[in-house]
Each structure stands twice: as structure tokens, then as C-alpha cells.
Amino acid sequence: MTHQFDYLVIGSGIAGMSFALKAAATGRVALICKTVMPEANTALAQGGVASVTNLEVDCFDKHIRDTMIAGDQLSSPDAVRKVVEGAPGQIRQLVDWGVDFDRRDDGTFDLHREGGHSEFRILHHADNTGFEIQESLIEQVRKCPAITVFENHFAIEIITQHHLGKIVTRRTPDITCYGAYILDCVAGRVDTFLARATIMATGGVGAVYTTTTNPLVATGDGIAMVYRAKGTVRDMEFIQFHPTALYHPGDRPSFLITEAMRGYGAVLRNINGEEFMQKYDPRLSLAPRDIVARAIDTEMKQSGSDHVYLDVTHKDADDTRRHFPNIYAKCLSLGIDITKDYIPVAPAAHYLCGGIAVDTNGESSIRHLYAVGECSCTGLHGGNRLASNSLIEAVVYADSASRHAAEAIRHIDYRTDVPEWDDKGTSHPEEMVLITQSTKEVNQIMSTYVGIVRSNLRLDRAWNRLDILYEETEQLFKCSKASRQICELRNIINVGYLIMRQAKERHESRGLHFSLDYPRN
């Protein structure tokens, strides 16, 4: 079956939905959702959205400086200025779409401060900001007649000249995207979606690791598809591990303990109850995430423990419950009263600072293909994302991409010679246990060898082991009917390879990439 739309948006988090809502004013939009719309990383973002709103104490230059410092001076100045200066306008757009940010009695925003920020500039909705944004945007999307939502649909490959029988390499000029082959997971059929503009908004890669705060749909699908289509992918070595995921063995994903809690005054303690951040950074528990995560990792290794503690017991109990109702309820369900007890925490894979390379319009190296949100690499984050910069980046770049694409599609026609997906001679794999076991092996390899602290030896071991899994999986894919399981395995292997290879190519410790072989000066 073939579908035609002006815009094909693959992914339904804040980036995909905000693009879709704006693009709907100029064309018909297909919004592809891997499972159901509420299951996106956006919904798990507790902390908030960073934007300069209190001009009495804050300004764009301060936010820019904080972002550059957190990014270890690897951030693109143009991208940083674009997001910081575009943030207030997009905050107004989110409010217009129904997002209810917390306010003080005088009507001004109730701002939080998080690690790496020099001022209070984090807008939030209690401690479930992402969920509030996701629900508000879903409501807007559902009532927009120009947007058709395809839930339980999985993008397998983007369509380029390669599918028209032409040879495409990374040196091929003007690789062009015409849409994507997409699996209808309910019908078990691969459909052809043709579009004048295709937008990747597939989120992050957390499910590549054993321990992650991401939903398990975060398998790097868009990044893997673009890489296989010979598009440019960069900065994959910069994986942000959130320092404080709730330590509760068996949970996957891990429950996030927002950084806003440290901004509120929570203190990190080791397994013996001793404060330790003074040994690592003068900013103590409010140091940037890469520093805090490595400090925790060091303390855990020195003591042989599998977690440390976050202590908020010295704060007013009623204030704590009011500011962090979801964290309080979650911990209480596990027998932890955070107003009286320390919270056991450990780092977990949280955010990808690299991804599909895009320009200031959100356009990738492949013509008519855009990328927004966590799957993209705009240059904003550099070597390390500043807390709460991701949600605002998503809407600022979705806005730019929608305006650029609206102009571009006026000069683009559909391809009429795209073949249907060819699965002749394939069958359903008889042993799904092979896929499940291979997925666990990838998780273990990445967590053991390509985690918070790396070395040349560890990366070489990851290379050798991933190479074996890659060959086995490609052979299985060639003879198998398309399924979400085999495609996700293929994608996490591709993404794991990219993280590992680009880590090997960076001969320094910088930002989130820390190597024992290249100590910092």
C-alpha cells in the first residue's frame, strides 16, 4: 500500500508533534508513532524547560555562557544563540497550546535552577513537566484535521536513490529522501509512505544500554536509518548519563530523580553517608552532569557499592512533597520516605548529545530530510547538554524546520517510480530467543565497555564483539520478514557501533567522553 503526504514525521515526542502542528498549516501531515502517542521520552522529562524569562536578573548572554561552559566549548555558537534567543517565543507557543507551567502568586513563572545554570530559569510543571507537555500537544494533534496519526507503525528505512537501483555512497552528491518504508505492526505489512519532506523525530538511544532512564522504544531508529542511507551522523561519543536515577534493581527504564531536586538543595552522599562532591568540583552537587556522574561512578568503584545516596531530609517536608509529588509517591511505594530517608541513586544512560547532523534549518545532509529533537545534532549541546536545554531545542528547531520545509515543498514533486518493499523469500524467524539474547548482549557490551569511563582497550573489545553481532544480525535480517524486534536489534547494533567508533576517534577526554588513555590536562 502506498500513501502520499506533504510531510512525513517519524516520531511523536515534543519535536515531532510541534513540527506537525506547525506544518499542518501548509500541508497534509503523516505522524508515525512506533507504539502509542504517550510513550515518548518527552513524557519522562521531569525537570523542565530552560528559557530566559526573568529579565531583572537573567539575560541571553548568561544562558549562552552557561551552555558553552557545560558543552566544554564544543557547542556551536550559532546554534546556542539560535536556541537561547528563540526560547521565549516558543515558550509562549507552548503556553498557547495549553501547557500549564507552574506560576507564583503574582502570575510570574515559578523558576527552578539546575546544575550548570547560573540563574533560576527552568520553567516546570511540578516534577512531571514532560508529561504535561506531551499531554497538551497530543490534545492539539488529535483535533487537527490536517494531521493523520499512525500508531503502532515502525519506520524501517528511508527511501533514497538506492531503492531506485542507483549506487549511493557517502560521497554521492545530493542524496535525496523520498519518504520511508514503514511497518504496520498490527497488519504485519510494510507500506510505502511518500512525502515531499521527511522529518526524523525518533528520539534517543538509551535502550542501547542496560540501565537507562529512557523508554525502551529509544533504540536510535532514526539515526541508524540515516546512517545506513549514507547521511552524516556526528558526536555520538557524547552520551549523557544522568547522575541520579533511582536505584531499584530490575527496573528498566530506571525512574529519574530530577536534577531540580539538587537545585532545590538535595546533597549527594556516598554509601557511608558522607558528602563527597567537594572532592570533585567547587559547584558541589550542582556541577554539570558529566562531572557529577563521573564522581558518583568513582565513589561507587572505590567503595564497591552499586549506588550512592541523595539526601533531601534537611529540607522542609511539606515543601519537598509539594515540589516533587511524583518522586515522593514513587519512592514511598518502595518504602522510602524521602523527607526522612536517603534516596539510593546511580547514573543511567539518559541523553544523546550527538545524532543526525543538521544545519540551522534542521535539514540533514540528505536532501528533503530534516531531523529534530534528540535524534538530531544541532551543535547546541557540544560535549555535554546543559540541563533542561533539550525540550526547548526541540521546539525551536521544529519551528525553523517547519518554516524551511513549507517553502521547500513548493518545489518538490512525489517520485512515482518507488518500488514496493520486497520481502520475497523471507520468513518469520523461528527462534525469537536469538533476537532477545543478542539485544541483551549489545546492552552488556555497551554498558561494560562504552559507558561513563572508557579506554582504548575497552573500545577495542566493544568493536570486536559488536562486529560479530552485526554480521549475525544482517544475515538474519536478509532472510526474515520485517518485524519491530529484528529492526530494533539492527538499529541498536548500528548505533552502538557509531558510539564506539566515534569514541575511538576522539583522542582526548572532553565533555561526556572520558578516556583513561587521554587524561585531562
Q: Among residues 494, 521, 508, 439, which one has the least CA distance to residue 216?
A: 439
Q: Among residues 239, 211, 446, 516, which one has the least CA distance to residue 346?
A: 211
* Type of residue numbered 348: A
Cα angle vertex 427, ends 426, 431, to 5°? 130
How, if at all, do strands 2-10 and 189-200 pair? parallel
170 labelled catalytic: no
Q: Rounded CA gap, 459 and 506, in Å?
A: 12
For cell 553517608, the residue is 273
Q: Is the dihedral of CA 244, 249, 255, 261 positive or negative?
A: negative
- CA distances to 150, 185, 492 from 188, rounded to whole Å, are 14, 5, 22
Q: How many residues can be counted in the chain?
A: 521
> Which one of 289, 458, 490, 510 is the catalytic residue?
289
Q: Rounded CA gap, 385 and 42, in Å?
A: 16
| Alpha helices by DSSP H, 450-518 | 456-478, 484-505
* Type of residue numbered 23: A
3-state secondary structure of 313: coil
Q: Which helix (H) or strand (E) holds 218?
A: none
Q: SS3 helix, strand, coil % of the chain, rounded to 5?
A: 40, 20, 40
φ/ψ region of 368 (left if φ > 0, alpha if ψ in -120 to 50, else beta) reads left
C-alpha cell at 173: 552528491
Which residues does the annotation mark as catalytic? Answer: 289
